[in-house]
Amino acid sequence: MADIKRVNYFTHQFLVEKDFDDEQEYHVLMRRRHNRGNHSWGVAEGLDVTKTKNKEVTISSGTAIDNDGQEIVLLEPLAVDLTAFAANTDVYVTVSYQEVFDEADHYTSGGVDNYTRITERPRLDVSTDSPDPLSGDGSLITLARVHLDGSGNVDAGIDGTMRKAAGSKIAPGVVGTNELADKAVTAAKIANGQVGASELANGSVSNSKLANNAVNAAKIAGGSVGAAELANNAVTTDKIIDKAVTAAKIANGQVGASELANGSVTNSKLADNAVNAAKIAEESVGAAALAKNAVTTDKIIDNAVTADKIAKGQVSASELANGSVINSKLANNAVNAAKILSGSVGTAELANDSVTVQKLKTHLYWDSTTSIAANAERGFNCLAVSLDKPRGASLLIYAYSTTNGARFEWREQSTTGGSPPYWINQGVYFRNLSNITISVRFKIYEILEN
């Protein structure tokens, strides 16, 4: 079994070269073991690559550690000439551990030819071959990728993203909460998806921690979004499920005309007596809208009912006010006998010359044409009145002659008869005053009292 050994010095000990070599080797190897065991390989500090000339970059001083724990230390900036590389190419700048003998340490005396020191001089390489900086074995530390443009000049943008930083190795589970300084764990230190609900303190996810649109429906517990959580005007129409807005959800007075769909207010939606005059547009109430018998007298303004509005035959006696049918209201020939109240037509109502024979209540006794010889007289009896039944009769005589040159006259004659006299005969006698036989056309009426 191999052991770690270090030089054990004691008095009077005789030291040889190997003892000094062992002394150095012990520390070098132990330091490299420390580096390997406690640090990951990569750039520890410095070693930045910057453009210093068109075809030159310079590596700043710095330190790196390779996979063997060897320290790669550049004490001074080092210029790298890139003129040997073609235009439009990418070149990679790498550094590695290298031990060399410096001629300044060359010792040649007393038959000895050796070097008094071993120089740890970093090896710098520039190549167009792309190294694998992150998954490589760590013997080569990539510092930068430099792009040469069409002229072979260094682009300003030198890519250092493939640099791997050296760090401390920490065993799994070693860094506990106590080992972490406050606020040491930044977002970059946390792998994606590692912070679950249990890692979050209650109330730790404040509004500002939430990315825009991060809280989708699945993240919101049922019933959690109350009025306070909803922004003003957040609930748009398409957020509301059909028929979700019941009457209880609508504040009083909020449904105006613009909220109502055309034709949506049906009869059943109107409360009784809800439609007053102010709600009815002018000219909008037609005949169909009026209920039967809805238009009572007090609904009709004075003088609104013109003749056009009255159906034929609808104005009967009951509709006419007393004294309303004045003369001008009567059409010519409108008042026939049936319209005149019995006994209503007095003298004042009769126009002059208006009562013709035909208008009188008469009894026609005679309607005849009679021939009368020259100078002769011919009589016609009309009635015989019993004396115990007096009947004073006025006779109306209408007569003319159709014979040329005729002259005649007539007289009425009353003659008593019977013994003792029981009756009175009333007659008319026509006398021909001519010397020729004439023809007399006549009518004799009795004018009746009743």
Partner 1 sequence: MKIFVIHNRKGEILSVSKVEAMPEGLEQPFGLMGEDEFLLEVPVKKALLELDATQFHEKYAVDSEKKKLIKKS
Between residues 114 and 437, which has the closer beta carbon with respect to partner 1? 437
Q: Is 402 in the site for partner 1 (CB under 8 A)?
A: yes
Closest approach, Cβ 411 to partner 1, in A, equals: 11
Query: Which tokens hold the place of 105?
Result: 């340490």
Residues 6+ apart with CB under 8 A from 37: 69, 169
Q: Is 369 in the site for partner 1 (CB under 8 A)?
A: yes
Q: Is 427 in the site for partner 1 (CB under 8 A)?
A: yes
Closest approach, Cβ 337 to partner 1, in A, equals: 24
Query: Which tokens hold the place of 401?
Result: 């002659």
Closest approach, Cβ 388 to partner 1, in A, equals: 17
DSSP-derived pairing of the beta strands 71-74 and 78-81: unpaired
CB distance 77 to 143 below 8 Å:
no
Instruction: Pick the binder of partner 1 from 114, 368, 375, 414 (CB under 8 A).
Output: 368
Between residues 101 and 380, which has the closer beta carbon with respect to partner 1? 380
Q: How far apart are the first and last CA of the chain?
A: 176
**How far, in Å, CA of 254 to CA of 238, rounded?**
19
Between residues 151 and 439, which has the closer beta carbon with respect to partner 1? 439
Closest approach, Cβ 450 to partner 1, in A, equals: 19
The stretch near partner 1 (CB under 8 A) out of 43-51, 193-201, 242-250, 365-373 is 365-373
Q: Is 376 in the site for partner 1 (CB under 8 A)?
A: yes
Instruction: Pick the binder of partner 1 from 78, 383, 385, 395 (CB under 8 A).
Output: 383
The stretch near partner 1 (CB under 8 A) out of 33-41, 127-135, 197-205, 359-367 is 359-367
DSSP-derived pairing of the beta strands 89-96 and 71-74: unpaired
Residue 311 DSSP one-character state: P
The stretch near partner 1 (CB under 8 A) out of 40-48, 302-310, 345-353, 433-441 is 433-441
Sign of torsion over alpha carbons 333, 334, 339, 342: negative
Of 385, 386, 361, 378, which Cα lies nearest the Cα of 445?
361
Instruction: Pick the binder of partner 1 from 46, 136, 160, 379 (CB under 8 A).
Output: 379
Sign of torsion over alpha carbons 288, 289, 290, 291: positive
Helix, strand, or coil (residue 22): helix
Radius of gyration of the chain (CA): 74
Instruction: Pick the binder of partner 1 from 366, 408, 410, 434 (CB under 8 A).
Output: 366
- Residues binding partner 1 (CB under 8 A): 364-373, 376, 378-384, 402-403, 415, 425, 427, 429, 437-439
